[in-house]
Structure 1
Amino acid sequence: MYWLGIDLGTSGIKAVIINETGEVVSMGYAEQNVITPKSGFAEQNPEVWWEACCSAVKMAVSKGNISGMEVRAIGFSGQMQGLVLLDSMGNVIRNCIIWMDQRAADEVKVIDEMSCKAGIDTLDITANDCLPTFWAPKLLWIKKYEPEIYEKINKILFPKDYLAFRMTGEMAAEVSDGSLSFLMDVPYRRWSTEMFELLGIPKSFVPNRLLESTDIVGELKASVAGEWGLKAGIPVIIGGGDQIANRIGTGIIREDVMGASIGTSAVVFGCSRKPFIDYNKRAIQSLCHGIPDLWCYLGLSLTAGASLKWMRDVIFREKKAEFEKQGKEIYDYITSIASKAAVGSGGVLFLPYFNGDSAPNNDPNARACFFGLSLNSDMPELCRSVMEGVAFSLRETIEVCRQTGKNIDTIRVSGGGSKSRLWRQIQADIFDASIATMSVEEGPACGAAIMAAVGSGYFSSVMEGCDAIVRVKDTIEPIRENVEIYDEYFHLYRSLYKDLRQSFKERAALIN
């Protein structure tokens, strides 16, 4: 029994085929880039997604020791908050404004003013404080600055739902992605007519079908199945946003288990039996889980995980090209350099805010910087400080969760940050928590495959699927001496952002 999980990430698309025991029998991958036309802007071309998806799936099918005809269903994981605009013919009319884009900061202020004027507490409806990455402010930005595009809009889709549309010809949205649109009634898991009317956005823009994560979008078209080597007509399951899929793939389906992941972004994630609402407006996002009676919350550091990729592409550009020719992994080389630096990187601190920060600072103007460089600082200190800075950014959200009474002793980690033992130890020491890795490393794609297995009827529930497939592989404990050192550096890290907030704002004004 086999299922295909497709993970539409920011850096690339993974296609993973798993069996009923959770074994990854084959995987394909295709890389893609982010388009940054201006500071704070971030876009991708949906057609590039489709091409990458086709390449990744065909690679997975051809590499496996199985026939593609044995794959029973397809499930999705996808980067969240992306705005894909379609015309009446179903054609994309501009690049997707993706989740890390910060251009709509002024539109957030407009939405706040509209809400206050109307006397509507949007937190009670959306369970979220409005962020510039959400659909609603992005649509208002399009309406103001690209009116000719706005007039052509017939439907809007989230990234993974666009791929599902290309596979099946059917349009739908899903509750975890919809939760971060600022157009959805999150407690009742439905579109909010009140929010559409308040913001003047036509409700006809969104698909009528708002599905749960294990629902079927449609059947795989014969033309696509033929190209990919799969069976035509197999069910395509809507799946969940990457944060939901990743947590299903790592077994974060109960309130007493928390997760953290470092990919392009970095995230801390937990579950709750009712919507988690952050009344202090620290950009803790609240959304529907992939399980119908469960909600979840997450704190997002927008480009924390992209920080090491930046080092790879900028500081280690020549080395990267050399390693690619040799078929070696450059990240292993970078982390080996980082391992030569002492805990605390000799007093060098790194703020990983390349494109603003979400939780808990909610500042689109924030930017990355190194602090504490001296003539004694060398490449080991630079590399390790980036890894530590990413972990510090996640600890900010962990501290918010602890303040609300969450007992955080063990955190299940995933993404690129889970593959390095050094980075896992850094996280354990900075979080002061046990760090567990899972038997299946590709959490989002694995979660997508689990949802495919549930949606196609093999498992009766997501919990049954997780219990059958997801297992802890390894656990790293914090080193007490390091915990104490990092506590002091964390307080300095926090003070740096507070001291620089006004300077970030002034810089943004100069750039604009």
Structure 2
Amino acid sequence: MEERYLLGVDIGTYESKGVLVTLAGDVVATAVRPHELLLPRQGWAEHDAERAWWGDFCAITRELLETSRIAPERIAAVGCSAIGPVMLPVDEACRPLRNAVLYGIDTRAVEEIRELDARMGTETIFARTGNALSSQSVGPKILWLRKHEPECYAKAAKIVAATTFLCARLTGRCMLDHYSASCFVPLYDMAAGTWGKDLCEGIIEPERLPDIAWTSEIAGRITPEAEAATGLATGTPVIVGTIDAAAEAVSAGVTAPGQAMLMYGSTMFYIQVVDRPVRDRRLWSAPYLFPGTSAIMAGMATTGVLTRWFRDMLARELVEAEAKGGESAYGRLAALAAAIPPGAEGLVVLPYFSGERTPLNDPQARGVFFGLTLSHTREHLYRAVLEGVGHGIRHHFDVLDEIDAAPLEVRAVGGGTKNRPWLQMVSDIAGRAQLVPAVTLGASYGDAFLAGLGTGLFASYSDISRWVRRLETVAPDPAPKPLYDRAHRIYRDLYERTKDLMHDLTQEV
């Protein structure tokens, strides 16, 4: 019998990744394709869905088939994940009617959040959805579209997420998983597991939203049209899929209650599996990917995006040197920052450069470099940026401790894990050990496993443990704890003392 394979594709903020694996989890081929993050106005973040999502998916699948020389008929199933939550209006053929509006880094719907809170009541929204409205929520962005681009809203046959878009183009079916649907606050009724007709009133009709199913359920099969575009065989099963962070959690083996994933990506994202729904206004809650499981989630607005900004704006000569074959600009900055003492000699950064998601839920928060002196260098600034993210992560653990939901185990994943000095800073600041898989292939790897689970090739989601390789522990160093404790107190106090000024600064004159 010929060996079968699983295909996973993930669409990220700056690039898309694909992986072709055996049923044992061995990687046969990988592919990466960069794309552009569009920032048309301050506070806006968008993607060209046709080019960045569908274009990347088609290019990646064709590259994987070509490099692996595996016949498309030997691919047992396909799984997709993508950035989220996002908002994309499409026509009857699932063609985009405008650019996709991205997740919490897009803060255009501040007024719509206020409007919905006032109209529906914050208590009602939280009681029905398990979440407070924030810049992460899709509902206010749909309302923004309805108010500011009424012609586009009227033409939309559906308003979809990124995975829905891919699934529809592959199978002709418009599907969304429960985990992702919970981010469509205030439209998803958490207890009922459906779109709430009354919750949707005045925002969008429920029939214009995707059908809801579980992540690893089969959404449909590759159509002849999709085969022509992707090279995949007609009839190949495609699962519903999920948001990238959840797929990445699965890729790291985070499936059991008490396990958590800390993802160092363009943004920081945290997912912890719990055995019961846990709700707190400062965090997000959702059904997890499998029936009978729940999750607590959190996400900062700028982590990898912030280090990228720093590199591109303040270390251009390192970027140019890397382009000429020199050392990685990120690697050089990390080494220089590691030589600076803990605490960056009195420098504290609030990393709220695109507002902040959890636990502040404040789209008007702003970035701050605090404590600058003439003695500080670029290396001090970069270390302070990395430590600022560490304090933001510790802030989340503070909240989890307060609500008696501290994780039993934290697994670190994402591109930022290549920066080991950063991981050590975070463990030292937060006082938490982090387990790092020796091989981290990311969300696309989780997508491939979920595709196998959905087609019955695996008995249980716990079977991912056979795919997860050796784990390395990054343990906290107790030596800098007193210094970091003091810096953390200043970090927390600095926002409280300046948030009114931040809000004043962001008001239109």
Distance 1:186 1:210 in 2: 12
Distance 1:71 1:44 in 2: 29
Does 2:112 align with 1:107? yes
- TM-superposed CA distance for 1:69, in Å, is 4.1
Match of 2:499 among 490, 494, 501: 501
Match of 1:143 among 141, 146, 149: 146
State the one-letter code of the partner of 1:155: K
State the one-letter code of the partner of 2:496: K
Distance 1:406 1:191 in 2: 28
Match of 1:477 among 464, 475, 482: 475
- TM-superposed CA distance for 1:194, in Å, is 2.3
- TM-superposed CA distance for 1:406, in Å, is 2.6
Does 2:340 align with 1:341? yes
- TM-superposed CA distance for 1:200, in Å, is 4.4
Match of 1:72 among 68, 76, 96: 76
SS in 1 for 2:155: coil
- TM-superposed CA distance for 1:327, in Å, is 7.2
Moved more, 252-261 or 51-60: 51-60
Distance 2:465 2:63 in 1: 29
Distance 1:35 1:345 in 2: 33
1:304–1:393: 8 Å Cα contact kept in structure 2?
no
1:78–1:241: 8 Å Cα contact kept in structure 2?
yes
1:23–1:440: 8 Å Cα contact kept in structure 2?
no
| TM-score normalised by length of structure 2 | 0.94
Does 2:218 align with 1:216? yes
SS in 2 for 1:167: helix
State the one-letter code of the partner of 1:168: T
Is the alpha carbon distance of 1:440 and 1:21 closer, same or farther for their aligned partners in structure 2, counting shifts above 3 Å? farther
- TM-superposed CA distance for 1:169, in Å, is 2.1
- TM-superposed CA distance for 1:143, in Å, is 1.4
The 5-angstrom pairing of residues 138-217 of structure 1 reads: 138-182=141-185, 183-197=187-201, 199-207=202-210, 209-217=211-219
State the one-letter code of the partner of 2:310: M
1:258 maps to 260
The 5-angstrom pairing of residues 17-166 of structure 1 reads: 17-48=20-51, 49-64=53-68, 66-99=70-103, 100-116=105-121, 121-166=124-169
Distance 1:317 1:471 in 2: 36
The 5-angstrom pairing of residues 369-448 of structure 1 reads: 369-408=368-407, 410-448=409-447
SS in 1 for 2:413: strand
Distance 1:401 1:479 in 2: 22
Distance 1:407 1:243 in 2: 20
- TM-superposed CA distance for 1:106, in Å, is 1.2
The C-alpha deviation readout for 1:419-446, integer Å capped at 9, x for no partner, is 2211111121112111111143123112
1:341–1:380: 8 Å Cα contact kept in structure 2?
yes
2:18–2:61: 8 Å Cα contact kept in structure 1?
yes
2:237 maps to 235
The 5-angstrom pairing of residues 321-332 of structure 1 reads: 321-326=320-325, 329-332=328-331
State the one-letter code of the partner of 1:336: A
SS in 1 for 2:345: helix
SS in 2 for 1:290: coil
Match of 2:488 among 487, 490, 504: 490
State the one-letter code of the partner of 1:483: K
Runs of at least 5 residues in structure 2 that lack an aligned partner in the other structure: none
State the one-letter code of the partner of 1:474: E
1:248–1:443: 8 Å Cα contact kept in structure 2?
no
Distance 1:409 1:345 in 2: 30
2:134–2:362: 8 Å Cα contact kept in structure 1?
no
| TM-score normalised by length of structure 1 | 0.94
2:269 maps to 267
Distance 1:146 1:330 in 2: 41
SS in 2 for 1:7: strand
1:69–1:229: 8 Å Cα contact kept in structure 2?
no
Distance 1:68 1:307 in 2: 40
SS in 1 for 2:108: coil
Distance 2:319 2:28 in 1: 29
Distance 1:336 1:126 in 2: 44
1:186–1:275: 8 Å Cα contact kept in structure 2?
no
- TM-superposed CA distance for 1:328, in Å, is 5.1
Distance 1:336 1:64 in 2: 37
Distance 1:155 1:204 in 2: 8
2:270–2:298: 8 Å Cα contact kept in structure 1?
yes
CA RMSD of aligned residues (A): 1.9
Distance 1:52 1:124 in 2: 39
1:360 maps to 359
- TM-superposed CA distance for 1:68, in Å, is 4.5
1:467 maps to 465
Moved more, 269-278 or 336-345: 269-278
State the one-letter code of the partner of 1:218: G
- TM-superposed CA distance for 1:212, in Å, is 0.3
- TM-superposed CA distance for 1:19, in Å, is 2.1
Distance 1:200 1:83 in 2: 13
The C-alpha deviation readout for 1:300-353, integer Å capped at 9, x for no partner, is 101122111111221123421331232753221221121111111111222211
Distance 2:213 2:231 in 1: 28
- TM-superposed CA distance for 1:414, in Å, is 0.6
- TM-superposed CA distance for 1:120, in Å, is 6.9
2:136–2:357: 8 Å Cα contact kept in structure 1?
no
SS in 1 for 2:77: strand
- TM-superposed CA distance for 1:96, in Å, is 0.7
Moved more, 101-110 or 22-31: 22-31
Does 2:223 align with 1:225? no
SS in 1 for 2:199: helix
2:15–2:32: 8 Å Cα contact kept in structure 1?
yes
